[in-house]
Structure 1
């Protein structure tokens, strides 16, 4: 197994302190939003193997040189010769974009269409960066706040109506008068396609009312402080507000609108960068495509708590095979836990100083374990285990 050297991405919404506090390093004053662990071409992890030249190599290059050795034959058959997941530490100091992800068929069709039209993959107006879907799971390390899935139309109508903003009354009436799918579709479409100047005035009035009311309206006042005049502020009120406690998680499937608002968590996803945004961002917004992809159905937020097994593994169950996330809270003094598996693994320490094989890990450190390589964890601390279902 190999200790990984990972890239921290300085997106503007990132916290300036959360990742440095976990790593035990001094803050730089710049936002540190995501630490990527995996083989995504945008920022692959690096490692040095004793048997090699002694220079760092990217994990993506090592896997490409011998996929079956690193990933195992079963994973290669199922997902091809690449690591199918990307693991991250995510530290939100400000709200992220309001977004959805496509399913696999939509991603393939969208990617092929943009390829045919000759849009460069790195173009800022490109929507589909690859042909893969992007289901994801966020597990809270600190209290974590986000938006996930549509509220019931009646609940959204009550929240928006309580603001007392005249220009929002037509949306309230639609939410109360139409069946669920039609109500959500018509109101979100109207918000995102409204005249920008008129919507900016509406958002300003709504933000002032939310500040005054507080309580359930407080999150939207906070969002408006970061994104004044953005229609995403009103769209966010259609979504469920979710608060996770440390150890709780949230799964986000295709077509589910969502946004993270604040906190530190471990995030895992299929190895994709396909994001369709409709607000709360300076990045490319593709409203027509998002409206085509989003699922207009109200849902109750499904907060996941890990299922413990007799081996000490606490598993976060999800309906996808590209990733499998679990954790081990090691009490110290217990027998070593055998994690040997026929699939690739990344082990991430978030507390204590456990040993994984010959490596001692401290918070924020991670190791890559090739398929079938013997590995045991022991000592005291918390280890997240990322792998695949084969």
Structure 2
């Protein structure tokens, strides 16, 4: 059992207050966007081994079966297959989508064969892995997730009163639904001159005279990304509000953009992101439209289910499993021994984590502990802990 030394990533869409407040620190001058916990090579957490701080990815690579368990190594290789984060959105993120595993493997191999450097700005595939993800709100959280039904988007476009939007609204009403969504989405990636400016003006007027949350959110997106045609794609996405404890799972091909709020995020450990807009980074319209799922079912708001003394957030992947312990003072210890690695993150209160043969660790919000496969960990105190492991993990003993 090791206390993780973690990294805070500073991106322009981060917040100067949300993450510092969560960590019990004063506001920062630059935005803080993500607190990373895991072994991703871009910013691996560090653990103390024999009195020396070492990157967790190297620790895993040197003895994968001890750290991950034989089952995890057989399924995922000698790597921690998930990455845990605390995400703090102070401004809208880019609209983005992630490939499925077959698309990632084919795209990575194709770009390698073409000799595209891994760090090239125009590269689409940084590795050969998919990147499903889940976000659990710690504060009220807003996002754009998945396509709205074509008729609903047509109604929204008509409500803005922009004559140049009428052909797109009509196309969405004619169907078939999947084909109509794809055609309008492609058209919005390269809009005709003047359309974006007209939509921005209309949104400003609509937001000023409307209390409708989604219209206000779209206006906020426009102000955060002036002149970015990704706003038009964003108008096709469902506006979602999460209360603390509620979650979203985002599978392959589902376009999404987080807008504001603090949440715990878990994902398969990958860098594969294709952007649709609201970004200064590369947008590959052709590859994007191959990856986007225009027939994906609506993204549902999830709540945890009780399972063996913890609250589990269901996800249809085995790269990760996310659950939550909500403890009250004086309750019996919650014990967990798995045949897979675990990361436990305190998000509220004060907790004590203990393991056989190791010193007990007192943790506060923002602190996380890594537990190797096969090691028991007990949690007690008054507070909340999220537990990340693999979806293939099995209890031991």
TM-score greater than 0.5 by the shorter chain: yes
1:41 aligns to what?
41
CA contact (8 A) 1:148 1:240 kept: yes
Note the residue ranges of structure 2 that are not aligned, 5 or more in a row: 355-359, 393-397
The structural deviation recorded for 1:153 is 0.6
The counterpart of 2:307, out of the listed 309, 322, 346, is 309
Matches within 5 A, 1:35-114: 35-49=35-49, 52=50, 54-114=51-111
Secondary structure in 2 matching 1:48: strand
How far residue 27 of structure 1 moved from its aligned partner, in angstroms, is 1.9
2:203 counterpart (185, 204, 207) = 207
Contact 1:99–1:257 (CA<8 Å) still a contact in 2? Answer: yes
- The residue correspondences of 1:303-342 to structure 2 (distance < 5 A) are 303-311=301-309, 313-342=310-339
Matches within 5 A, 1:236-385: 236-297=234-295, 299-311=297-309, 313-357=310-354, 358-385=360-387
Q: Name segments (4+ residues, structure 1) moved above 4 Å.
A: none
Please give the per-residue CA displacement for 1:338-357, whole angstroms capped at 9, x wherever unaligned: 11111000000000111111
1:183 aligns with 2:183: no
**Aligned counterpart for 2:130 among listed residues 129, 133, 148:** 133
Q: Is this contact kept in 1: 2:200–2:219, CA < 8 A?
A: no
SS at match of 1:90: strand
Stretches of structure 1 lacking an aligned partner (at least 5 in a row): none
CA contact (8 A) 1:200 1:228 kept: no
* 1:20-68 residue CA offsets vs partner (Å, 9 max, x unmatched): 101101222210000110000000001112xx1x221000010011000
2:79 and 2:188 map into 1 onto residues whose CA distance is 40
The TM-score normalised by the length of structure 2 is 0.95
More divergent stretch after superposition (210-219 vs 285-294):
210-219
Q: CA deviation at 1:374?
A: 1.5
Q: Residues 351 and 362 of structure 2 are in contact (CA less than 8 Å); yes or no, is this contact kept in structure 1? A: yes
Distance 1:369 1:55 in 2: 17
Distance 1:232 1:389 in 2: 34
In the alignment, is the contact (CA less than 8 A) between 2:94 and 2:275 conserved in 1?
yes
Q: TM-score, normalised by structure 1?
A: 0.96
Root-mean-square deviation (CA, aligned residues, Å) is 1.2
Structure-2 residue corresponding to 1:20: 20
Does the 8 Å CA contact 1:111/1:128 hold for their aligned counterparts? Answer: yes
Whether the 8 Å CA contact 1:92–1:264 is kept in 2: the answer is yes
Q: What does the per-residue CA deviation read over 1:61-120, in whole Å, with 9 as the maximum and x for residues that have no partner?
A: 100110000001111011101000000000000001101100000000001111111111
Decide which moves more: 185-194 or 102-111: 185-194
